[in-house]
Structure 1
Amino acid sequence: MASVELDKLRKVYPNGYVGVADASFEVADGELLVLVGPSGCGKSTLLRMVAGLETITSGTLKIGDRVVNDVAPKDRDIAMVFQSYALYPHMTVAENLAFGLKLRGHDKASIAGRVAEAAKTLELDELLDRKPGALSGGQRQRVALGRALVRKPQVFLLDEPLSNLDAKLRMSMRVEIARLHRQLGATMVYVTHDQIEAMTLGQRIVVLDKGRIQQIDTPMALYEKPANLFVATFLGSPKMNLLDGELRAGDEGLRLRMGDGVELPLSPDEATRTALQAVVGKRLTMGLRPEDLRIDGKTGAAGLAAQVEAVEPVGNEAFVNLRCGEGEIILRQPPHELPSPGDVVQLGHVPARAHFFDSETGARLG
């Protein structure tokens, strides 16, 4: 396996559109790194640049110790798994697995050994004589993974490989890919628009928006300390609640005065307090995860009255949708003693779990 290093990688199309703007990061040898972001953010373009399917406008791309900017895709020693399985319908599973090796001139014994090894790893042993039309979606995806696996490349590139599967199959295939990565110790770059896939699979995540990297970190570090409003609202389901207002200071400490005149007392930690003191009198956005809000203020400072609009019990938990002044709030709580639509309740929050952002730039404060 090998590392992958991007140094100010840039893609500009003939019409001047910037698909990827100065992407710089390193995928460590044996790491599973996920590129995540909304449609059109540049994640697939970036992956295709690594694969050699998109030309690089500027910057440097290294796989291992070799600069590969001008190296043909077939000579980069990478294997790619696409959203479409792209299996040959007239070939059996064994023939699909072996096809790429035959093109590269491997001998029959080597091909048979690699196909058998991949089939065992992916539990395809009993399916080798079947054709793709006789396979389920999950089985076809495993064959597509196996076709990459037999190559024994330096780097695996996976472009939204689970998008065509239903929710149950996606979950089982996520486990399959994570197991495969642990077993092989392979270097993998995985592209998805699904933030749950990104959080559950990635050892590190690169969050992109409009062609630019917003933040790179471990899944929980991104969730607990998002660098800006985009990352804060993109990761997490349901998404983070945002409260906008003017930051005020007085004898009772810092308070967020919202548009409806309600003032919410803030209790940030010392480091955050110092950062907030510099923006007193300016617009501020406070973020609260749904699990950090509670009805009746049992876990923190009360001060927000809200009306229940809908209650969504989903088994082990419930989502409560509320109207607070001009804004909407959603909280997550155990599915017991739930309020009813129309109830007016008092909300409390966990002060230590609040996030603060500059309303104009979106940058995190503190």
Structure 2
Amino acid sequence: MANVTLDRLRKVYPNGFVGVDDATFEIGDGELLVLVGPSGCGKSTLLRMIAGLEAITSGELRIGERRVNDVAPKDRDIAMVFQSYALYPHMTVAENLGFGLTLRGTDKAEVARRVRESAAMLELEPLLDRKPAALSGGQRQRVALGRALVRKPQVFLLDEPLSNLDAKLRASTRVEIARLHRQLGTTMVYVTHDQVEAMTLGQRIVVLDKGRIQQIDTPMALYNRPANLFVATFLGSPRMNLLQGEVAARGEGLELRVGDGVALPLHPEGGLAATVRGYLGRRLTVGLRPEDLHLTSAAADFSGRVETVEPVGNEAFLNLDCGGSELIVRLSPRHLPQVGQTVHLGHDPAHLHYFDPESGRRLDG
């Protein structure tokens, strides 16, 4: 096991495109860290730089205490699991599992022992004599994981390993990867574009966009205190509601005038109150998670017209038109309003998120 340190890592392609810009962070020894972001954000490029499959333009990369910028991939003591399973079709499961060790000249008895050990861990023992064509997608993915496990590397790198699986298999394999990490205690770097995978797997998450790190923190810290509008809307399903309007006085307090007679009461506290008051007469963006809105028959903060109702079993989502702004409300599926109905909404002022609409940054007191 080892920690991985990235110090101002940068990747610039020959055409001038910047794939990764100034990536600086440390992956702790035994940590499961997730790199997440939309397609083209630089997460796979960053992973390939750690693996040695992409040349580093500038900056320094260390695995443990060793600088590895110019170290060949085979000498970095890492194992990588790709999106494609990359199994040899003419080899059995046992042969695929042990192939990397055999190439390194490992003793046959040791290869057999490690293959049995990995197969038992991943419940592959009944499949050892089969070839990949006789396996399901989930079984092939477990073989790809097992092939990395047998090497006992310092660092595991996983590049969207579940994207080829159906929803049920993704969920079960995700649990399997989390269990393996707890059991092995090995440093893992996991790349995904799926924010649910990121939130459920990562001990910490690195959120990337356009090659730059937007925020690094634990899953719930990112969810509860996003650093900017990109993080706020990328993490969370459904995404955070955003209301933009002008800040105005409301008695001794403040409100956000969204439009069409809709005004959201604002109740910032402490130092944040002075910060928000500085936006009087100016535009401000306010965020609300769908679960922080509720229907009310009492004096309503504001109202919205029901556009669609989406029951999904244990919960339902209302899509509302609120003064020209779209809102999503997460509700219990019982006693849902009808499409076209006007509903009154309440909110918890303590759960409002305030953002500067120009820079996108979070406002703090």
The answer to whether the superposition gives a TM-score over 0.5 is yes
- Which residue of the partner structure matches residue 334 of structure 1? 332
Aligned equivalents of 2:131 and 2:269: distance in 1? 61
Change (3 A) 1:167 1:362: same
Which of 305, 308, 313 matches 1:307?
A: 305
Which residue in 2 is equivalent to 1:116? 116
1:309 and 1:322 in contact (8 A); partners too: yes
Question: Is residue 309–residue 321 contact of structure 1 (8 Å, CA) maintained in 2?
Answer: yes
The residue that corresponds to 2:238 in the other structure is 238
Deviations 1:63-109 (A, max 9, x none): 00000000000000000000000000110000000110010010101
8 A Cα contact 2:85 2:144, kept in partner = yes
1:43-58 matches, cutoff 5 A: 43-58=43-58
Residue of structure 2 in register with 1:275 after alignment: 275
1:229-268 to structure 2, matched below 5 A, reads 229-268=229-268
Counterpart AA for 2:334: H
**Does residue 135 in structure 1 map to residue 135 in structure 2?**
yes
SS at match of 2:110: helix
Q: Distance in 2 between matches of 1:181 and 1:324?
A: 45
Shift of 1:297: 6.4
Q: CA deviation at 1:360?
A: 0.5
Does the 8 A contact of 1:302 with 1:349 survive in 2? no
**Residue 306 of structure 2 contacts residue 343 of structure 2 at CA under 8 Å; is this kept in 1?**
yes
Identity %: 75
Q: How does 1:205-216 map to 2 (within 5 A)?
A: 205-216=205-216
Structure 1 residue 327: Cα displacement: 1.3
Corresponding residue for residue 22 of structure 1: 22
Paired residues of 1:265 and 1:303 also in contact (CA < 8 A): yes
SS of match in other structure, 1:264? strand
* CA drift at 1:302: 2.7
Aligned partners of 2:301 and 2:347 also within 8 Å: no
Match of 2:352 among 341, 351, 354: 354
How far apart are the structure 2 equivalents of 1:306 and 1:259? Answer: 12
Does the 8 Å CA contact 2:36/2:206 hold for their aligned counterparts? Answer: yes
1:198-247 CA distance string (max 9 Å, x none): 00000000000000000000000000000000000000000100000011
Distance 2:263 2:341 in 1: 21
Partner SS, residue 244 of structure 1: strand
Deviation at 1:272, TM superposition (A): 2.1
The CA distance in 1 between the partners of 2:270 and 2:46, in whole Å, is: 40
Q: How many residues end up aligned between the 2 structures?
A: 364
Q: Which amino acid in 1 is paired with 2:336?
A: L
2:175 alignment counterpart: 175
Q: Structure 1 unaligned runs (5+)? A: none
Q: Higher mean Cα deviation, 313-322 or 1-10?
A: 313-322
SS in structure 2 opposite 1:302? coil
* Aligned counterpart, 1:73: 73
Shift of the alpha carbon at 1:250? 4.8
Aligned partner of residue 74 in structure 1, secondary structure? helix
Contact 1:21 1:212 in 2 (8 A): yes
Question: 1:192-207 residue pairs with structure 2 within 5 A?
Answer: 192-207=192-207
- Tell me if the contact between 2:261 and 2:323 (Cα under 8 Å) persists in the aligned partners: no
Q: Secondary structure of 1:161's match?
A: coil
Call closer, same or farther: CA 1:250–1:293 in 2, change over 3 Å: closer
TM-score of the two chains, using structure 1 as the length reference: 0.98
Separation of aligned partners in 2, 1:144 and 1:297: 55
Other structure's SS at 1:114 match:
helix
Equivalents in 1 of 2:274, 2:114: separation in Å?
Answer: 60
In structure 2, what is the Cα distance between the partners aligned to 1:302 and 1:265?
10
TM-score by length of 2: 0.98
* CA drift at 1:267: 1.2
Partner Cα distance (2:157, 2:278) in 1: 45
SS at 1:47's partner residue?
Answer: helix
Contact 1:297-1:348 at 8 Å conserved across structures: no
